[in-house]
Structure 1
Amino acid sequence: METVIIQETDPEISDVLYAVLKQEGFRVYALSESGPDVLELIGQAQPHAIMLDYVLSDKDSACLCSEIKQRYPALPVLALSCNSDISEVYRTVGFDGYIAKPFNLDDLFRILRGFIPES
């Protein structure tokens, strides 16, 4: 079973992502905060991908992405963002891809499956 960690500060978005990914057959861990808990959970859960809430005015997710990439360079880290220019900046911060909010479920699964092929 493929495992995904979601770090999303909006509880409604987190709940939707959790529910639809579980329904799609993923093992899902959802956190509302960034920081050491995410890094600890990565070591325990050994996920196939990470989805981080990205706010351009806040450097936390960029720093966390960098830290994840230093420890787990092959682990895909995707930005979740409603920022209009996320398609232009996600790579400069170190993310492998992005999911624009609000998201279409077909797009969400297509993007995620681009990093985690079905087994």
Structure 2
Amino acid sequence: MKKIVYIEDDPDIATVIEMALGDIYQLMVLMDAHEIAEKISHFMPDLILIDNYIGLKKAADVIKEIKQADKLKDVPFILCSGSSDIHTLAQEMSANAYLEKPFELADLYTIIKKVFDGHIS
């Protein structure tokens, strides 16, 4: 079973994602960015889904911290955001893909599958 980390500070969204993905993937939901690289490195995910803001931290800063850990540097990630310039933000962070909020669960499943299948790099 593939492992996914979902980093989201909104408890309602986190709960929906947990229900949507929890039976398909081994899922870790983190609602803050405190010692995030350490928490994630113990889980060793195959994919990271991250909201653009985790509390006061931007996803770009959180991803930079995560990618500094050698064993996490190649883990793909998908940026999730309601920002109107999500495409630009995703490019600037070198995200493997992005998903604009609000999104349909079918779109979430599709983008995850595409990243896992290597159709999006």
Residue 9 (structure 1) shift: 0.9
Aligned to 2:43, which of 24, 33, 45?
A: 45
Q: Distance in 2 between matches of 1:66 and 1:35?
A: 14
Answering whether residue 11 of structure 2 is matched by residue 11 of structure 1, we say yes
Does the 8 Å contact 2:78/2:97 carry over to 1? yes
Q: CA RMSD in A?
A: 1.5
Give the number of aligned pairs: 113
Q: Which runs of at least 4 in structure 1 moved beyond 3 Å after TM superposition?
A: none
Residue 59 (structure 1) shift: 4.8
Aligned residue in 2 for 1:114:
114
Gap regions ≥5 residues in structure 2: none
Does the 8 Å contact 2:33/2:57 carry over to 1? no
The TM-score, its normalising length taken from structure 1, stands at 0.85
Gap regions ≥5 residues in structure 1: none
